[in-house]
Structure 1
Amino acid sequence: MSGQGDAVRLPVMRATLAVLANKYQLEKLDGMMGTIEQHLKAALEQAANGTSEDRRRGLDQGLAVFALAGGLLRRCTGKQTQGLLRLLLRAPECTDLLGRGLEVITAPQPFVTDSVGSVQKPLWMQKVYVDLVKPMIGRASSETHRPPVKTNFGVAVLLLVKHMEFPIYEEDSGAILRIALSMSQIMGTGPDAQAALQVVKNILVEAPDTVQDHLASLIKICTGLLSTGPASTPRRPPWLPKEYAAAALDDAEVRAGCGRLALEIIGGLPLMLETRILLTCAPRVLRELAAACGHGSRDVRKMARLARATWSNLK
């Protein structure tokens, strides 16, 4: 089938799998969970070690199982899902695309939740956090993994966590904040930085004291993301593959989205933290905000003016 046909067929197939997995008790059918796990295991191996065509098939099959898992885990969080969760935890080791694909598990799925007969247990997200995300936090911070693999885990953590309420991950908010700052520094402007900044913003609103210890790094990252020039994109580490999220690096909307989030964070700092903590940073921040007032995005320009006014009132 053509690439254009796949672009239509695959999302429909994944949505259908998610709805069926949420509506019907697949885990009670003899051998069904074992079959799903076998398919996912084969997909992970193909995506990691196969030929170019094998990797594409492995990615498509893996993403289909992720969608199924997103529907299933909303309804069933018992021991029947433990084997599936262990395999999902391996996804970022195989490829960054599979790591990113895990987002579908916690992302809103209106085609599931709005369908007749859908089930969503009250604590399902907490269970996913404990069984899937929490182990990933350790792997994203571990020195035993190669830097690209650590980065895959870090990005996966942020994409999963950004759809969660703060109390779910409050206990680990410090570690998650460090991952978010690290990913922003490594990746520069792009969808990964957007996810990182969204998580940082959530933590800043709920636990500003957690952000305070990382204030200098946060301001440096945010002001760097406000520029539209080539100098705003940091040089990537040599160990990071050139194709890593490369497609979105020059996306104007992504760049503007990063700028908006960066300004929301910078503009919120005077409201969340004590003035005395911010005074030493104020001159540099005001210079960067003045430059951002000439940004190519009208929304970014407007937000920059508001943030500049807030910082100008620091005394």
Structure 2
Amino acid sequence: MGLLAVLIGTIGAAVAVGSTTTAWADVYRVLAHRLFGLGPAPDPTVDRIVWRLRLPRAALACVVGGGLSIIGVAMQTLVRNPLAEPYILGISSGASAGASFFYLGFLPPLLSKALTMPLAAFVGGLASITIVYLVARDGVRVSVARLLLAGVAMSALMASLTSFVTFSSPEPDKLRAVLFWLLGSLSGARWGLLPIPAVTTALGLGALLVLARPLDAMLVGEEPARSLGMPVEALKRGLIVLATLVTGTLVAVSGAIGFVGLIVPHAVRLLVGVPHRRLVPLSFVAGAIFLCWADLAARTVLPGQELPVGILTALCGVPFFLVLLRRRAYHFG
């Protein structure tokens, strides 16, 4: 309940603060009129700033931050490695490569006409994880060691392809736009963009809550989990599919925003321990709060310009995480 209260206040700050500060009373007036039809119509300029620009951006930050955080929880449990995060399987690198190929004009014209940038990013991430899964599969089982190694290898391959097409592009304006997107940005947020990532993240959150007990069992190892009657191989395949779906969708709308899925789950474990019935929902809320504040800082730290939010997630999140890790006893699993 405390985190939910902080989240509500964070969304209010994200809507009110920016290059043009909006009074909290004006924010409430716009929301009351738009959501409940109460009061007179607000000033058109204030309405545009609050309803069309900042509120969709804050909502997308909540969806992306929460989604990356819960997938970070799932990946750390799947590979039983505290350094795991949503991008460990090469999904982010594949999505970045797909977006770069599309935006810089390196795809065949017929294929480019059938795709949009988010769809190209999703297809790139799907292609990358498909190769990783085929390499990691050993008969009916999925080798976690192969999964990690194949994910690292595909991440390096896709990053090199992205660098190649980036440096081969003759258009500096497009190059700057792609680099900004690769570092993560929520500047393209609008209401029409929200339904797909919101529904996908909600499905991921619901699935992980249902799987809380099997995830707890996975933390102690595959053999103990099997002895407890858990369908380990089916669970591993399900987590891979879930991570692909959620991460690919989020990267497609926001770019590659690093550190959220690595830092937030560990910070929440420091507060509530490792049981997933608490860890998953609290990681979602904490991730939403963290990315909202990071995006707010990205919009306001430099007057007149905006930083990629991925830079701020690293600059703000890593020191905070290191302080928490140093000051309190921490155990993974």
Q: TM range, normalised to the smaller chain?
A: under 0.3
TM-score (norm 2): 0.24
Of structures 1 and 2, the one scoring higher in RCO (CA 8 A, sep 6+) is 2
